[in-house]
Amino acid sequence: MAAVASPNPSASAKPPSFSTQFQPRMTLLPRFTLPIYSNPQKRHPFLHISNVISNSKPTTTTTTTMLPVPESFISRYAPDQPRKGSDVLVEALEREGVTDVFAYPGGASMEIHQALTRSRTIRNVLPRHEQGGVFAAEGYARASGLPGVCIATSGPGATNLVSGLADAMLDSIPIVAITGQVPRRMIGTDAFQETPIVEVTRSITKHNYLVLDVEDIPRIVREAFYLASSGRPGPVLIDVPKDIQQQLVVPKWDEPMRLSGYLSRLPKPPNDSHLEQIIRLISESKKPVLYVGGGCLDSSDELRRFVELTGIPVASTLMGLGSYPASDDLSLQMLGMHGTVCANYAVDKSDLLLAFGVRFDDRVTGKLEAFASRAKIVHIDIDSAEIGKNKQPHVSVCGDIKIALKGLNKILEGKGEITNLDFSSWRKELDEQKLNHPLSFKTFGDAIPPQYAIQVLDELTGGNAIISTGVGQHQMWAAQFYKYNRPRQWLTSGGLGAMGFGLPAAIGAAVARPDAIVVDIDGDGSFMMNVQELATIRVENLPVKIMLLNNQHLGMVVQWEDRFYKANRAHTYLGNPSKESEIFPNMLKFAEACDIPAARVTQVGDLRAAIQKMLDTSGPYLLDVIVPHQEHVLPMIPAGGGFMDVITEGDGRTKY
């Protein structure tokens, strides 16, 4: 038995055919691709796909398709030269076009690190914690659209990846995680630093492998990248025992992928009759609204064209921010628990909900029965499991939203009567909601409103920065008050809500996009969870700016305490109770310890100049912005509530 993996279904169907003309790796990312952010230095390897039963050695090939590359890969080894499994693994990564990894060494993975030192093309960005490494790989993937790669040792190194894998699974982020494992003969003996990481991560990865034959490494790595990137993207884990890493082998790079069951389930192009039906529903509606999510990030051009042709207003999920320009007149901005009144009003009053690349998450829908209760629902998503899971659609299309939008646009462009689509009265109704219920905040003396700090950052960066966040109030304010006009500007832990995400994700974004301004908007609680990554930022000299909204509390939990628990504080104060008048801990000392310039601002009159100095300083910078803990994120629809339950007033200064 060559490798142990999640069992593959039937291998009876033929794989889809691929164009013989070379296309970059991004074409395999139907859900999370933005060509503008691709790395021109990356190359796609040969893809050799065949139908072979997954638990046997390939003996029969029914279909073989290959994607040529613009130039052949030049190995540093002679074709018949034996080399260690670890060197085969690293070369397999090189053949996938990997140029950056986030790897932390340990006993069971040190062979891989030794092999990395022999690579001429792969740079290791050394995190200071494995969780920092996997979040950085996610930041890399979210900012570039290409799979991020992280590597950890066995046991605690591997288990430290768990939160990042779960996060990538929930948010559909393509990452490949590689872990060292104890030697094969010791698996199952409770050996030092042994954990069954394949079993631990089975339900939070798209697929995972335990390598039991060194000859399988080239095929498994190729499969892992294909699985992570194709269909609905997600994390794939490869567990490599140490004796496999040390074993000498002459690799076979032309071994076919054995994914026939998976390939047979990839969605086909949408049926024209279904698209025609959607166009008919649009023409019959009076109050349509688009509800777009993370699935639309790589279909931004097609989405903008669709809106241009139809004039339908757009509400975005937290994950979908940037897929449609927030500054456009037809943008309703974010919907859901902390979405705009206008966006939630539009969904509530709509007669047609076009749900594109979304999963009807509870933070969006609230009370399911009340969500879009007046509307016919059209749901397009690449994952068949999401269709009808939470909300039953009237029309559904399981397929790539990019292809579906192209098809819809082609039909619309071919119809002369599209000029008859007139939703001006509906848009006027929504404009009144925008006017009556804008996103707003109050000021109290010299105190800095956190919303204002983000607004100023938006102005001073021209809305062009890549923004990462932790999780909590600062995350929601960053979603509300920074205007995302392009995809892949907004990096946040959506489904899992993992605190500590912001700083390492910013590292990944800065590595993937060295040309971009990268700002981590963080809270003091989230920042402390991966504060050690300041050392990585300094050593790598990454120009990451950190704007810390420091309120000395777990702000979002405090908000819920204020609203629903009579303001009873249950361990949500993060300062020093014996010195409440002082800022604790002193974040500037953390920055100083890592030789990173830092400053603190406490008065609103000094804020703009302080943010400008942060942006003007070359390299990394930390700005500690002291904000009041009484602020609440508004609007707010309480969990399980509907649009009629929306809260638009109040803060921690009021009793409830």
Residue 233 pLDDT: 98
pLDDT score recorded for residue 45: 38
Residue 69: predicted pLDDT: 41
Per-residue pLDDT reduced to its tens digit, 563-622:
999 999 999 999 999 999 999 999 999 999 999 999 999 999 999 999 999 999 999 999
Q: Which of 14, 42, 46, 193 is flagged as catalytic?
A: 193
Calculate mean pLDDT across residues 71-81.
Answer: 90
Q: Which one from 528, 556, 614, 636 is the annotated catalytic residue?
A: 556
**Catalytic site includes residue 556:** yes
d(CA 141, CA 197): 22
- Percent of the chain clearing pLDDT 90 (strictly above): 87
**CB burial string 195-214: b at 16+ within 10 A, e below:** bebbebbeebbbbbbbbbbb
**In whole angstroms, what is the distance from residue 460 CA to residue 39 CA?**
27
Q: What is the pLDDT of residue 418?
A: 52
- Residue 540 predicted with pLDDT over 60: yes
pTM, to two decimals = 0.89
The token pair that represents 63 in the structure block? 């279909």
CB 391 within 8 A of CB 377: yes
Give the model's confidence band at 67: pLDDT under 50 very low, under 70 low, under 90 confident, else very high: very low
Taking CA atoms, 239 is separated from 109, 179, 323, in Å, by: 10, 5, 35
Q: Is the pLDDT of residue 513 over 50?
A: yes
Do you find a cis peptide bond into 585, omega within 30 degrees of 0?
yes
> CA of 467: how far to CAs of 42, 68, 167, 539, 630, in Å?
24, 36, 18, 21, 24
Catalytic option among 22, 73, 192, 444: 192
To the nearest 10 degrees (0 to 180), the angle between helices 502-512 and 130-144 is 50
**Percentage with pLDDT > 70 across the chain:** 89
Distance CA 591, CA 167 (A): 27
Are 168 and 207 in contact, with CB atoms under 8 Å apart? no
Which candidate, 297, 291, 225, places its Cα nearest to that of 492? Answer: 297
Residue 43's pLDDT is what? 38
Helix (H) or strand (E) holding 599: strand 598-601
Start-end of CATH 3.40.50.970 domains in the chain? 83-258, 450-633
Listed in order, the ranges of the chain carrying CATH 3.40.50.1220 are: 272-437
Tell me the pairing of strands 207-211 and 3-5: antiparallel
Lowest mean pLDDT among 414-418, 432-436, 444-448, 502-506: 414-418
- What's the CATH fold of domain 272-437? Rossmann fold (3.40.50)
Q: What is the pLDDT of residues 306-315, one digit of tens each?
A: 999 999 999 9
Does 221 or 48 have the greater pLDDT score?
A: 221
Helix (H, G, I), strand (E, B) or coil at 94: helix
The closest of 610, 329, 617 to 456, measured between CA atoms, is: 610
For residues 460-469, average pLDDT: 98
Q: Would you call 130 a catalytic residue per the annotation? A: yes
Structure token pair of residue 487: 């995809």
Q: How far is CA 183 from the centre of its chain?
A: 34
Q: Which residues pair with 84 in a beta bridge?
A: 248
Task: Report CA Rg, the chain.
Answer: 25
Decide if 242 is catalytic: yes
What pLDDT is recorded for position 283? 94
Specify the pLDDT at position 58. Answer: 40
Lowest mean pLDDT among 109-123, 403-417, 506-520: 403-417
Contact (CB, 8 A) for 620 and 345: no
- Mean pLDDT, rounded, of the chain: 90
**pLDDT of amino acid 420:** 75
Q: At residue 601, what are phi and psi to the nearest 5 degrees?
A: -130, 135
Report the alpha-carbon distance of residue 321 to residue 93 in Å, rounded.
31
* Residue labelled with tokens 């994607």: 67
CA distance 656 to 649: 12
Query: What CA–CA distance (Å, rounded) separates 61 from 172?
Result: 31
Q: How far apart are CA 558 and CA 546, in angstroms?
A: 23
Superfamily name with CATH number, domain 83-258: Thiamin diphosphate (ThDP)-binding fold, Pyr/PP domains (3.40.50.970)
Residue 40 has pLDDT above 70, yes or no: no
Pairing verdict, β 65-66 and 48-50: antiparallel
**DSSP labels, 313-349:** -EEE-TTTTTSS-TTSTTEEEE-STTS-HHHHHHHHH
Number of H helices, E strands in the chain: 23, 24
Q: Nearest-CA neighbor of 295 among 427, 438, 400?
A: 400
Asked if the bond preceding 620 is cis, omega within 30° of 0, the reply is: no
What are the distances in angstroms from CA 63 to CA 258, 301, 438, 482?
11, 34, 57, 49
User: What is the dihedral sign for C-alpha 423, 429, 430, 431?
Assistant: positive
Mean pLDDT, rounded, for 523-541: 98
Collapsing DSSP states into helix, strand and coil, what is residue 581?
Answer: coil
Query: pLDDT-derived band of residue 64, with 50, 70 and 90 as boundaries?
Result: very low
pLDDT exceeds 80 at position 423: yes
Token pair listed for 259: 């994914």
Using the structure block, give the residue that is written with the tokens 């954990």: 195
Strand 490-491 to strand 48-50: parallel, antiparallel, or no bridges (unpaired)? unpaired
| Residue 655 confidence (pLDDT) | 83
CATH class of 450-633: alpha beta
Model confidence at 417, pLDDT cuts 50, 70, 90, reads low
Which of these is catalytic: 91, 94, 130, 255? 130
Which residues make Cβ contacts (< 8 Å) with residue 573, sequence separation at least 6?
Answer: 552, 553
* Residues in the chain, overall count: 656
Residue 650, classified by CB atoms within 10 Å of its CB into exposed (0-12), middle (13-18) or buried (19+), is middle
What is the token pair recorded at 588? 């500037």
Q: pLDDT band for position 223 (50/70/90)?
A: very high
Whole-number pLDDT of residue 85: 98
Q: Which of 242, 287, 391, 483 is catalytic?
A: 242
Residue 656: per-residue pLDDT: 81
